Amino acid sequence: MKLSLSVRVAEKFHAKREANMTLEQLAALATRHGYSGLCMRASQVGTHSPPEAVAAARALLGRYSLTVSMLTGDFPIPENSAQGPDALRNITPYLDLAEQLGAPLLRVCLKQDEDIAWARRAADEAAERAMRLAHQCHTRSLFEEIDRSLQVLASIGRPNFGLIYEPANLELCGQPYQLNAIGRLAPHLFNVYLQNQVLTSDGPDALDTWCRGKVRFRQISLWEEGGIRFPPLIDALYAVGYEGYVTVHQASAELGTRAAVRESARYLKRLLATN
């Protein structure tokens, strides 16, 4: 498994259109601490970016020997808004951007059953360019719960359409996320996102879910006790033969971005080295 750093770490938690670091600052930070790739989002480069900005980003990443582990090409997809599935209805510019950045994987969004047919068509177009599409385990989407996620994946029925395993969102939705869950999802795993949290009724943050209503929580760093236990998850990913990216997808909670990126890498490299 390889380490990837999401540019999400340089966005505000509730303001995903605002970056507080430049792409070069992020690339330098990622390289310094042993990440192999950046998970690109529209706060840095998206379908709205002019061609010269895209070319400059590709050149910059090349100078730092970083790949683009996955691309999220617009703002509605990570915001999980009603406009999130629109990309499926016109996937061409997203595939163009992914090709220009050398990204083999695109994140997409499905919120209604009618999005499934569009996902099939988008996956077919992506397959023509040897690209893959993936949906994150995410609240208020067709991928909140494991059983439903597997049903949707079967209905889409495309080998290049898979899943971004994300245990924090599964926990928010009251879903199991340990060994058995990873085993069930294994045939569809295209990426792994890691965030950490403690579910608590007086938590400062809250997210709405379709299956459980509003769930309150407190963000904590990946290595902190009391939240998600990552060692057994890494063991389980190795056990099912997952060889893709493990992506740090949260900034800090209490720490600043730079310290969180450094310490997250140190923690995860230690876990990966034990297998």
- Could you give all domains of the chain from N- to C-terminal order, each with its CATH number? 2-273 (3.20.20.150)
- Flag whether the pTM goes above 0.75: yes
pLDDT at 13: 63
Nearest Cα residue to 119 out of 162, 148, 165: 162
- Low-confidence stretches of the chain (pLDDT < 50) are none
Q: Are strands 2-6 and 37-41 parallel, antiparallel or unpaired?
A: parallel
pLDDT at 255: 72
Task: Quote the DSSP letter at residue 65.
Answer: T
pLDDT at 16: 72
Residue with the two structure tokens 């059953």: 113
Per the DSSP assignment, residues forming a β-bridge with 230 are none
Residues 54-112 have pLDDT tens digits of 999 999 999 999 999 999 999 999 999 999 999 999 999 999 999 999 999 999 999 99
pLDDT at 257: 87
Q: Which residues does 271 contact at the CB level (< 8 Å), separation at least 6?
A: 230, 231, 234
Query: What is the rounded distance in angstroms from the CA atom of residue 3 to the CA atom of residue 91?
Result: 27
For 28, phi then psi, to 5°, come to: -65, -40
Residue 111 tokens read as: 């919120």
DSSP-derived 3-state class of residue 207 = strand
Query: What is the rounded distance in angstroms from the CA atom of residue 150 to the CA atom of residue 156?
Result: 10
